[in-house]
C-alpha cells in the first residue's frame, strides 16, 4: 500500500466519521418528530424511490396504503434519512475495500459482502424476504470474518468491521418499519448508529496517529473503557426511554416525578423487551406506571454516569491529558443540562435532537482519550505498509 493510499484511507475514515455523526443527528430528528413510520414500506416510500409530491402521486399513495395516510411534512424526513444512511454505507464500503485491498481474499470478501447486501435489498423489494435475509446474513458475515482474519493493525480491522455493522444497521432500519416501531428494534437501531459512529471515529483517530510513544497512560485504559461501557448502557437506556415514549412520563418535574419522590412505578412491565409481532408501537403501549419506571431508571443511570465521568475527567486531567479531561467535563455538563431542559421545557424538538448529538460527542471524547492511552502502533506501521 502506498503512502498516497494511506492518506486517502485516513481522509476517508474522517469523512465517514463526520458523516456518521450527521446521520445519527438526523435519525434522532426523524424519530423525535414521530416520522419513523411516515414511509410504510422499505426501502421505497409509498412505492417510490423518493416520496410522493404531486397530488396524483399522493392520491395513489393513500389508495395503496389506506391504513397509513400520506403526511407531506413527515415522509421526506424518513426518506432523506435513508438516502443519508445509504451514502454512509457507500463511504464505509469504500473504506473497508481500501483497508482490505492488500490481500486478494480479503478484498474479494468485502466486495462479495457488498454485492450480497445489494442483491438482498433487491430481493426484499420483490417480496422474497427469506432469500433476502440469508443474503443479508452473508453480507454481515463476510466482512466480519475478514476483519477477524485481517493481518493489520486495529484501525484497518475496525474499518472492515464497520461494514458489517452498517449492513446490520440497514436491517434494523427495515425492521423498524416492518415491525411497527417495536421498542427493542428502535433502540437497537439507535445503538447501531452510535456503534457505527464510534468505530469510524476511533479508526479515524488511530489513522491520524493519535496515541502515545510509550505506555505511560496505560493505567488509565481500563477506567476509560469502563466509562465507555457505562455511557453506551446509558445511551441504550435513553433509546429505550424514547422508543417507549417515556421521556415525559414524569411530566415536567425534575428531580421529582409527577410531583413525588416515589411515584407509582412498574419496572417489570416497563422493561419487557419482546411483546410479540403485529402490535403498532407508535405513541407507545405502556401505562403511566411503566413509563415512569423507565424514566426514573434513565435518571438514575444518568446520575451514575455523571458521577463516574466527572471523576474520570478529573483523573485524566491529573495524569497530564488536560485537553481530553476538560473536553469530557464540558460535554458532560452540557449533556446533563440538555437532559434537564428536555423535561423542564416539555421535550422541544431542537433540545431533544441536540441531546442525542451531544451523547455521541461525549462518547467521542472518551474514544479520543482511549486512543491517547494506546501506543502509536498504527502510525508506526504506515511506513512499513507503504513500502510493500
User: Which residues does the annotation mark as catalytic?
Assistant: 78
Distances (CA, A) of 163 to 62, 160, 175, 176: 36, 5, 19, 20
- d(CA 366, CA 329) in angstroms, rounded, equals 11
The residues, ordered by sequence, that sit 6+ positions from 323 with a Cβ below 8 Å of its Cβ are none
Cell numbers given for 248: 415525559
Q: What are phi and psi of 329, to 5 degrees?
A: -65, -45
Cell numbers given for 288: 403511566
27, containing H or E segment: helix 3-32
Nearest to 356 by CA among 17, 73, 91, 22: 22
Residue given cell 434494523 in the structure block: 172
CA 82 vs. chain centroid, Å, equals 14
Cell numbers given for 281: 408501537
- d(CA 193, CA 21) in angstroms, rounded, equals 8
326, containing H or E segment: helix 322-344
Nearest to 380 by CA among 77, 118, 178, 155: 155
Amino acid at each position: 500500500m502506498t503512502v498516497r493510499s494511506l492518506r486517502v484511507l485516513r481522509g476517508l475514515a474522517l469523512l465517514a466519521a463526520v458523516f456518521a455523526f450527521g446521520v445519527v443527528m438526523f435519525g434522532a430528528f426523524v424519530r423525535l418528530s414521530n416520522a419513523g413510520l411516515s414511509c410504510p414500506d422499505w426501502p421505497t416510500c409509498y412505492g417510490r424511490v423518493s416520496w410522493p409530491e404531486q397530488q396524483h402521486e399522493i392520491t395513489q399513495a393513500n389508495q395503496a396504503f389506506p391504513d397509513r395516510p400520506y403526511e407531506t411534512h413527515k415522509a421526506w424526513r424518513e426518506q432523506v434519512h435513508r438516502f443519508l444512511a445509504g451514502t454512509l454505507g457507500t463511504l464505509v464500503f469504500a473504506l473497508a475495500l481500501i483497508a482490505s485491498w492488500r490481500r486478494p481474499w480479503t478484498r474479494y470478501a468485502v466486495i462479495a459482502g457488498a454485492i450480497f447486501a445489494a442483491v438482498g435489498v433487491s430481493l426484499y423489494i420483490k417480496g422474497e424476504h427469506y432469500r433476502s435475509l440469508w443474503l443479508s446474513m452473508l453480507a454481515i458475515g463476510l466482512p466480519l470474518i475478514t476483519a477477524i482474519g485481517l493481518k493489520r493493525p486495529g484501525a484497518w480491522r475496525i474499518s472492515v468491521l464497520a461494514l458489517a455493522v452498517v449492513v446490520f444497521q440497514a436491517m434494523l432500519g427495515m425492521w423498524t418499519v416492518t415491525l411497527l416501531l417495536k421498542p427493542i428494534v428502535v433502540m437497537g437501531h439507535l445503538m447501531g448508529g452510535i456503534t457505527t459512529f464510534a468505530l469510524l471515529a476511533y479508526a479515524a483517530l488511530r489513522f491520524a496517529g493519535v496515541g502515545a510513544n510509550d505506555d505511560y497512560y496505560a493505567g488509565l485504559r481500563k477506567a476509560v473503557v469502563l466509562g465507555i461501557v457505562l455511557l453506551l448502557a446509558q445511551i441504550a437506556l435513553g433509546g429505550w426511554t424514547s422508543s417507549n415514549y417515556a421521556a415525559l412520563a414524569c411530566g415536567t418535574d425534575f428531580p421529582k416525578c409527577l410531583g413525588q419522590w416515589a411515584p407509582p412505578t412498574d419496572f417489570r412491565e416497563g422493561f419487557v423487551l419482546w411483546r410479540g409481532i403485529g402490535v403498532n408501537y407508535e405513541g407507545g403501549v405502556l401505562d403511566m406506571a411503566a413509563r415512569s419506571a423507565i424514566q426514573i431508571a434513565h435518571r438514575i443511570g444518568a446520575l451514575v454516569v455523571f458521577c463516574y465521568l466527572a471523576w474520570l475527567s478529573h483523573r485524566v486531567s491529573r495524569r497530564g491529558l488536560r485537553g481530553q479531561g476538560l473536553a469530557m467535563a464540558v460535554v458532560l455538563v452540557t449533556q446533563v443540562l440538555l437532559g434537564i431542559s428536555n423535561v423542564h421545557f416539555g421535550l422541544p424538538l431542537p433540545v431533544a435532537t441536540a441531546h442525542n448529538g451531544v451523547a455521541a460527542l461525549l462518547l467521542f471524547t472518551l474514544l479520543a482519550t482511549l486512543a491517547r492511552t494506546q501506543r502509536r502502533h498504527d502510525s508506526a506501521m504506515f511506513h512499513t505498509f507503504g513500502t510493500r
